[in-house]
Amino acid sequence: MRDQDKDLVEMTIFMSEGGESFIKRRGQSLVLAPKEADVGDYKVEIFLIDRNPKPLQNYYSFNITVKSGLPPMPKVSPTLEAKIASIS
């Protein structure tokens, strides 16, 4: 990637643990493809610096929250008690 002065720009990405399983870099983009196992909160930090005798740099930080797409499970008692009314 190059900046407006045509200097090469290096991009370094850091993410919280687990994020690497569903956050991928594709060129200048980040592609997110979370699965149910990735539910949670993640922090992403991006550092940009150009290759120039007087380098410019920038830093971005943001959070990603992955939520479940499944409906909540019904609450079920760990024990079940019943009386048999009849057996035929």
CA distances from 10 to 17, 30, 35, 43, 75 (A): 22, 15, 29, 20, 50
pLDDT digits (tens, 9 = 90+) for 43-77: 999 999 998 888 889 999 999 999 988 777 777 76
Q: What is the pLDDT of residue 6?
A: 80
Q: What is the pTM of this model?
A: 0.69
Q: What is the arithmetic mean of pLDDT over 74-86? A: 71
> Which residues are within 8 A (CB) of 18 and not within 5 positions of it... i.e. 6 or more apart?
38, 40, 42
Mind listing the pLDDT tens digit for each residue in 1-15? 877 788 888 889 999
pLDDT at 80: 65
Spell out the domain ranges in the chain.
Answer: 9-66
